[in-house]
Amino acid sequence: MNRKVIERASLVPSPRIPSDFADRYVAAGYWTEETFQHFLGRRAETFSDSIAVVDGDTRLSYREVSDRADRFAAGLAERGLRPGDRVVVQLPNIAEYVVVIFGIFRLGAVPVFALPAHRRTEMNQFVDAADACAYVIADIGGGFDYRTLAREVVAASDRPPLVIVIGDPEEFVAFDDVAFDDVASEAVDVPDVAADSVAFLQLSGGTTGAPKLIPRTHADYLYSVRGSADICECDKNTRILVVLPAAHNFPMSSPGILGVLHAGGTVVMAPDPTPSTAFEIIERERITMVSLVPPLVLAWMNAPSRHAHDLSSLQVLQAGGAKFSSEAARRVRTELGCTLQQVFGMAEGLVNYTRLDDPEDVIVTTQGRPISPDDEIRVVDDNGDEVSPGSTGHLLTRGPYTIRGYYNAPEHNATAFTPDGFYRTGDIVRVVEGGYIIVEGRAKDQINRGGEKVAAEEVENHLLAHESVVDAAVVSQPDQYMGERTCAFVITHGTRPSKIALKKFVRERGLASYKVPDSIVFVDEFPVTGVGKISKNALRRALEKTLVD
């Protein structure tokens, strides 16, 4: 058994919500003493034999998931993990995902949520930025061998994390050995964590070259979980299908896995997002709710196989992560026979929902309104002045579950937040009657590829690493199916590489494949603005006029 002493640095203190606000949030009952450390244990007392998680033929009751999580926590403690330690989790949608994250919470350790699509470069960045002691993967997922990736991560790190593998561990530590050690679960003898301490680090969609980690506290996140479960009317009969990657904020907590477990319902993991897989599970498991990004809603509505399955159990279909067009939104009720709920949220905090009993027009034309009466919404012009009611502007927000700063990023925080603590979302919105928000566009330098966020600067930096590339500018291009796709304008010198070679170059730098530019346009110069900056607006306009492969 690997009992090496783990070197660790402590969690860097995160910018906190000031105490006058914190006091208000406690007084209003938003922030409670509840933490994720005891969340599952408490639910297991109430819902003991009800089924909490389904994954294929595996069906785990609340009691079983809680016991397994406790055992995993004890096994982690045996291997030297301590409260506050960071554990990077990169798992597909499998039952063990829930066991792993609640095992980490039980120990008072801090999960860092990576997506299955992330590769060497991103994983190295997360392990480094979080100073992680451990890294949990599955052996193979979606045909990809994560042990190969883990080998690269270990090789590149000054302080290699302990790698724990679900499935065949090869040279790493087997999850089963950790979770089913002879260690009694009472061995998790750790102090209770404070409700206002950091529970986990979530990933930001990002606008810069380096990824940002989002520190969410037990109190703030659990408030958003309870609020989401209430708004979405979750109860013990709710059966949610998890189609999007479980670690993303939307399927995790809006109301997602955590909201449904809060309410005593059942979480059903989908092994892949294809309509045929999903329809079969919906029919078999009598699924009541599902969360999708807009391209998947379109794929589901257009799939002929939907007529071959009984989807009548489905009550609510949530669409979020990217703008859902009102034309497509109007088709949901008639074509899929359920209520649409639009969800406009962000891992940094604020989440908006259309309510289930809203008039159809509100449901199809708006992106909802905030969870909390204390979510503060400001819409401002380029100078930071509030626009007149109903006008379009930049969305700023502050509230009981929105962060006041990223993890260990003081410089970035100085511009990402206003001096009085509002988060600059980078979204262009207008607020209509009843406080409903309509997303009109985006000011941040990010491409929203069907819900997957691509920071332009990150991709530009990778392109610039190519010896023939002199300059690069990545912009969005409208796409019928994805909403947007990425297009890289590139200036080269010397021998010009082929487009395919350049894409391959980016991919081989170890990036998630959704960040590889969809198309590349070679140019001799970039259009510039009056002050001499690259005009991305002009590049986007140029794309509207030309056909790009």
CB 222 within 8 A of CB 39: yes
Q: Count of residues for the chain?
A: 549
Map tokens 């930071």 to a residue. Answer: 384
* CB-nearer residue toward ligand OOB: 451 or 510: 451
* CB-nearer residue toward ligand OOB: 266 or 367: 367
Alpha carbons 503 and 518: distance in angstroms, whole number: 8
Q: Least CB distance from residue 49 to ligand OOB, whole Å?
A: 31
Query: Which of the ranges 179-187, 345-353, 514-522, 526-534 carries the binding residues for ligand OOB, by CB under 6 A?
Result: 345-353
* CB-nearer residue toward ligand OOB: 18 or 434: 434
* CB-nearer residue toward ligand OOB: 11 or 322: 322
* CB-nearer residue toward ligand OOB: 351 or 416: 351
Q: 286: alpha, beta or left, given left = phi > 0 and alpha = psi -120 to 50?
A: left
Assess 394 for contact with ligand OOB (CB under 6 A): no
Alpha carbons 422 and 424: distance in angstroms, whole number: 6
Alpha carbons 268 and 274: distance in angstroms, whole number: 15
Q: Least CB distance from residue 401 to ligand OOB, whole Å?
A: 11
At position 85, the amino acid (one-letter code) is D
Helix (H, G, I), strand (E, B) or coil at 488: strand
What sign for the dihedral angle of Cα 276, 281, 287, 289?
negative
Assess 249 for contact with ligand OOB (CB under 6 A): yes
Assess 367 for contact with ligand OOB (CB under 6 A): yes
Binding residue for ligand OOB (CB under 6 A) from 211, 345, 370, 510? 345
**Cα–Cα distance list, 20 to 217, 366, 419 (Å):** 17, 33, 16
Alpha carbons 194 and 280: distance in angstroms, whole number: 42
Assess 228 for contact with ligand OOB (CB under 6 A): no
* CB-nearer residue toward ligand OOB: 77 or 247: 247
Assess 245 for contact with ligand OOB (CB under 6 A): no
Q: Least CB distance from residue 323 to ligand OOB, whole Å?
A: 4
Assess 243 for contact with ligand OOB (CB under 6 A): no
Query: Which of the ranges 72-80, 159-167, 346-354, 522-530 carries the binding residues for ligand OOB, by CB under 6 A?
Result: 346-354
Alpha carbons 35 and 22: distance in angstroms, whole number: 16
Assess 344 for contact with ligand OOB (CB under 6 A): yes
Q: 143-167: string of b/e by CB count within 10 Å (b at 16+)? A: eeebbebbbebbeebeebbbbbbbb
Helix (H, G, I), strand (E, B) or coil at 90: strand
Q: Least CB distance from residue 429 to ligand OOB, whole Å?
A: 9
Q: Least CB distance from residue 465 to ligand OOB, whole Å?
A: 26
Residues that bind ligand OOB (CB under 6 A): 205, 249-250, 254, 320-323, 342-347, 351, 367, 425, 427, 439, 442, 448, 453
